[in-house]
Structure 1
Amino acid sequence: MKNIYSIEFHTGSKEELLPGFASDFPYIASRVELDKFMGRFVPWHWHKTVELFYMESGELEYCTPKGKMVFPAGSGGMVNSNVLHMSSPQGESEKNIQLLHMFDPSFIAGQQGSRIEQKYVTPVITASQVEIIGLYPDNPVQAKVLDTIRESFHLFENDLGYEIKLRETLSHIWVQLFAMSRHMLEEKGDYDKTNNKIKLMLVYIHEHYAEKISIAEIAAAAFSSQRECFRIFHDCLHMTPVEYIINYRLKMACHMLAKTQETITFISHACGLGSSSYFGKVFREYMDCTPIEYRRKWQDNDIKRQK
């Protein structure tokens, strides 16, 4: 199980890049130290993989276009395939640790078109009304599932039959999640065009953040009007397109400050933030420190982790 301090994304999109994810075994396990993430949050993103998690310590808030859920230590849940989401630690806990199973639905569904896929997997991963399933220890039924999830992280890769045991355990958990979600699956879930449109708009921003971007261009990327663009950003991300652009540019600037030795002037222009003076002003407003202070903090953290 890898220790994770940041996430990477496929070029030109916000779909998460999963290092070590193999076609013959589409699964990875991670121990995510969220209190050590740059900016102390995981930005808006999505992935085809299912995200099954357990909160070992701290408290985490998940946001999706349809709302928010808070997960304290001892709770957990499942984020469905292709659901747009972000998460951030709550409070100032020194340890905010999340254990993660990330797996392609085919890992438990087996062969494409199989009975298992049609009966148990596809109905869940295609249900727009099922974004996140929360599991909390004060519910006896959910507590049993949480126990299984927690214990599943004690399987070791070098053990005989590890791959089969892991798939068996995840399949057992899936059956229980399927049973819990049946009432949601019975609700009418219309095809969500808005979800696809916001993703197209985000992809456009991620591809062109270094350039001047107009609202008209963002809207056109999803075949929408400017008015609809504003509405979709408000409804899905609870911010304006301009606010998202600034946030994304600052996130890219944070990455360059922490991972490169490029000058502040170079980074400000490379991230579409104009002059170094404007960059410094905006950066301080959003991050509560200067770019230099941020660079020093995160590069020092990298050195400590390498020791």
Structure 2
Amino acid sequence: MQIKNFKVDQQSLKEQTKHQTVALPIACYETEIKQNIHGYIPLHWHDEVQFVFIKKGEAIFQINEDRIVVQEGHGLFINSGCLHMAEDKDQSGCVYICLNVAPHFLLSQELYSTYVTPYIQATNLPYLYVDTNENWGENILDAIGEIKQLIEHQLACFEIDITMQLANIWKSLIVNRFNLEYVQTEVVKNERMKKMLSWIHLHYERKITLAAIAKAGELSRSECCRYFRRMLNTTPLGYVMDYRIQQSLVLLQQEDINVTEVAYQVGFNSTSYFIDKFRKSINMTPLAYKKNKIVP
């Protein structure tokens, strides 16, 4: 099994994957969650809107403050700019198709301000469960499969066919007649969370305090804790610990670095403490993980 490293910019949390297929500003690919080097898809965001279709198993998606279980045969829409992550549910071996699309490519420029802008800016539409039992949901999931086939076979005029399928997807989504809202406080909350996570990702190798994290988000320490508990179901320092462990997985894939060096590089000042926390998180020691690593 090939291990994949899902790359996220440490400063902005923005996914670094180039979402472009051929000459089109889209990406459509199949992925197995457990194949990622972290064992899950880490927290990130991107400008593109995202559609997910679960082919096998089940996945748990965290989007802003909500956790959603998406079952086999169903899907999910994730809006532009929303923080999200995904993990396999109950070792189901979840495999899904992911379609990422630059918003400007969904519809023509003449229709963009009326039919796209209000939806990608709506603060009450961070995501939408795509139910295959609903006609609109079935249309979206079928179109995702069609786009994947079009990209793989690249028959004549396939780019035009893709644009037609995208228009079908977007129309199927907006026929739900949402009461769209834009609440500035929700935008500010999302940006503060991104700032705190970004600060942690830039400084995780050093000593980190709750006060410093709160300052990055321009919050009090108590409010900072509420943000993390509400959005990530953990404490700020608990997130720091988890992030350090996940970063260590990348380093342990390298043959020329030992466990002690890894521990200090990711911010631990004690090898034994690192080993203890690693074992509790990954269910094996760092050395065992290193010896059994799977190289791409």
Report the TM-score, using the length of structure 1 for normalisation: 0.88
Letter in 2 for 1:75: H
Query: 1:230 aligns to what?
Result: 225
CA distance in 1 between partners of 2:36 and 2:81 (Å):
22
Deviation at 1:160, TM superposition (A): 1.7
CA distance in 1 between partners of 2:3 and 2:102 (Å):
19
Aligned pair 1:163/2:156, yes or no?
Answer: no
CA distance in 1 between partners of 2:195 and 2:69 (Å):
28
Letter in 2 for 1:246: M
Residues 47 and 287 of structure 1: is their aligned pair in 2 closer, same or farther, counting only changes over 3 Å? same
CA distance in 2 between partners of 1:85 and 1:144 (Å):
24
Deviation at 1:272, TM superposition (A): 0.3
CA distance in 1 between partners of 2:194 and 2:119 (Å):
20
* Structure 1 stretches lacking a partner, 5+ long: none
Deviation at 1:13, TM superposition (A): 2.6
Residue deviations 1:154-211 (CA, integer Å, cap 9, x gap): 113532222222122112101111122x3242xx441212111000000100110101
Deviation at 1:121, TM superposition (A): 0.9
Residue deviations 1:212-239 (CA, integer Å, cap 9, x gap): 1122221222222222211211121121
Query: 2:74 aligns to what?
Result: 75
Residue deviations 1:259-278 (CA, integer Å, cap 9, x gap): 45311111111100222111
Residues 48 and 239 of structure 1: is their aligned pair in 2 closer, same or farther, counting only changes over 3 Å? same
Query: 1:273 aligns to what?
Result: 268
What is the percentage of aligned positions where both structures have the same residue?
Answer: 27
Which stretch shows the higher mean deviation, 235-244 or 33-42? 33-42
Letter in 1 for 2:169: I
Q: For residues 241-252 of structure 1, what are the structure 2 equivalents within 5 Å?
A: 241-252=236-247
Query: 1:59 aligns to what?
Result: 58
Residues 83 and 259 of structure 1: is their aligned pair in 2 closer, same or farther, counting only changes over 3 Å? farther
CA distance in 2 between partners of 1:23 and 1:240 (Å):
42
* Structure 2 residue corresponding to 1:284, chosen from 259, 279, 282: 279
Q: Which has the higher contact order (CA 8 A, sep 6+)?
A: 2
SS in structure 1 of the partner of residue 81 of structure 2: coil
Aligned pair 1:130/2:130, yes or no?
Answer: no
Conserved? CA contact 2:139–2:169, under 8 Å: no
Which stretch shows the higher mean deviation, 196-205 or 10-19? 10-19
CA distance in 1 between partners of 2:261 and 2:32 (Å):
30
Conserved? CA contact 1:4–1:33, under 8 Å: no
Query: 1:103 aligns to what?
Result: 101
Conserved? CA contact 2:63–2:126, under 8 Å: yes
SS in structure 2 of the partner of residue 155 of structure 1: helix
Residues 260 and 229 of structure 1: is their aligned pair in 2 closer, same or farther, counting only changes over 3 Å? farther
Conserved? CA contact 1:4–1:32, under 8 Å: no
Deviation at 1:60, TM superposition (A): 0.6
Report the TM-score, using the length of structure 2 for normalisation: 0.91
SS in structure 2 of the partner of residue 51 of structure 1: strand
SS in structure 2 of the partner of residue 298 of structure 1: coil
Query: 1:174 aligns to what?
Result: 170
CA distance in 2 between partners of 1:197 and 1:24 (Å):
35
RMSD: 2.1
Aligned pair 1:45/2:44, yes or no?
Answer: yes
Q: For residues 141-160 of structure 1, what are the structure 2 equivalents within 5 Å?
A: 141-156=136-151, 158-160=154-156
* Structure 2 stretches lacking a partner, 5+ long: none
Letter in 1 for 2:102: D
Residues 297 and 128 of structure 1: is their aligned pair in 2 closer, same or farther, counting only changes over 3 Å? farther
Query: 1:34 aligns to what?
Result: 33
Conserved? CA contact 1:130–1:184, under 8 Å: no
Which stretch shows the higher mean deviation, 233-242 or 34-43? 34-43
Q: For residues 83-98 of structure 1, what are the structure 2 equivalents within 5 Å?
A: 83-93=82-92, 95-98=93-96
Letter in 2 for 1:14: L
Q: For residues 285-300 of structure 1, what are the structure 2 equivalents within 5 Å?
A: 285-299=280-294
Residue deviations 1:19-50 (CA, integer Å, cap 9, x gap): 36489632222211112223432121111111
Conserved? CA contact 1:4–1:31, under 8 Å: no
Deviation at 1:4, TM superposition (A): 8.2
* Corresponding residue pairs, total: 292
